[in-house]
Amino acid sequence: MSVDSGNMSVRESGNRLCLSRMQLDMLEEENDSVLEKLGRNSIEQPPSARSISSVRSSFALRTASTGPANGLLSLKPPVTPGETPRDGRKRSFVDLASLSGRETTARSSSALQDELDMLQEENEDILEKLRLAEERFEEAEARAKQLEKQVANLGEGVSLEARLLSRQEAALQQREAALKAAEAQTHGVRNEELVSLREEAETTMEQLHEAECEIKSLRTMTKRLRLTTEEMEEVVLKRCWLARYWKLCVQHGVHAEIAESRHEFWSSLAPLPLEVVLSAGQKAKEESTRDKTEVEERDKDPFDFNDLSGDGNIESMLSVEKGLRELASLKVEDAVKLAMAQHRRPNLMKYGTNVPDDLKVPTESHNLLDAFELSQDETEDVQFKQAWLVYFWRRVKNHGLEEDIVDDRLQSWISLSTRTPTSHDAVDVEKGLMELRKLGIESRLWEASRRLIDPDSVYSKTNTEFDF
Q: Comparing 55-69, 155-169, 200-214, 372-386, which segment has the lowest mean pLDDT?
A: 55-69
- Hey, which of 113-122, 180-189, 288-297, 335-344 has the most confident mean pLDDT? 113-122
366 pLDDT band, cuts 50/70/90, is very low
DSSP state of 288: P
Is 194's pLDDT higher than 70? yes
Q: Are 7 and 129 in contact (CB under 8 A)?
A: no
Does pLDDT of 388 surpass 90? yes
Kindly report the pTM of this predicted structure.
0.49
Q: Mean of the per-residue pLDDT values for the chain?
A: 75
User: What are the C-alpha distances in Å from 289 to residues 135, 298, 301, 387, 421?
Assistant: 85, 14, 19, 17, 26
User: Given 3-state DSSP classes, what are the helix, strand and coil percentages for the chain, each rounded to the nearest 5?
Assistant: 75, 0, 20
Query: C-alpha angle with apex 97: 96 to 100, nearest 5 degrees?
Result: 85
In the predicted model, what is the mean pLDDT of residues 251-280? 92
Q: What is the pLDDT of residues 115-142, one digit of tens each?
A: 899 999 999 999 999 999 999 999 999 9
Residue 458, CA atoms < 13 Å, CB-side half-sphere: 1
Least confident span in 62-66, 148-152, 407-411: 62-66
pLDDT in tens, 298-324: 555 444 434 434 467 788 889 999 999
Q: Which long-range contacts (CB under 8 A, 24 or more apart) does 312-315 make?
A: 312/226, 312/227, 312/232, 313/225, 313/226, 313/227, 314/224, 314/225, 314/226, 314/227, 315/225
Give the pLDDT score at 56.
Answer: 41
**Do 409 and 393 touch, CB atoms closer than 8 A?**
yes
- pLDDT the model gives residue 348: 43
The larger pLDDT score, comparing residue 431 to residue 107, is at 431
- Whole-number pLDDT of residue 357: 47
SS3 235: helix
Report which residue type is found at 22: M
Task: Provide mean pLDDT across the span 169-176.
Answer: 91
Q: Which of 258-262, 271-275, 353-357 has the lowest mean pLDDT?
A: 353-357
pLDDT (0 to 100) of residue 370: 53
Q: How confident is the model at residue 50 (pLDDT cuts 50, 70, 90)?
A: very low
Higher pLDDT, 86 or 468: 86
Least confident of 20-24, 82-86, 154-158, 260-264: 82-86
pLDDT band at 63 (very low <50, low <70, confident <90, very high): very low
The whole-number pLDDT of residue 342 equals: 83
Secondary structure (3-state) at 420: coil
Q: Cα(183)–Cα(254) distance, rounded to whole angstroms?
A: 87
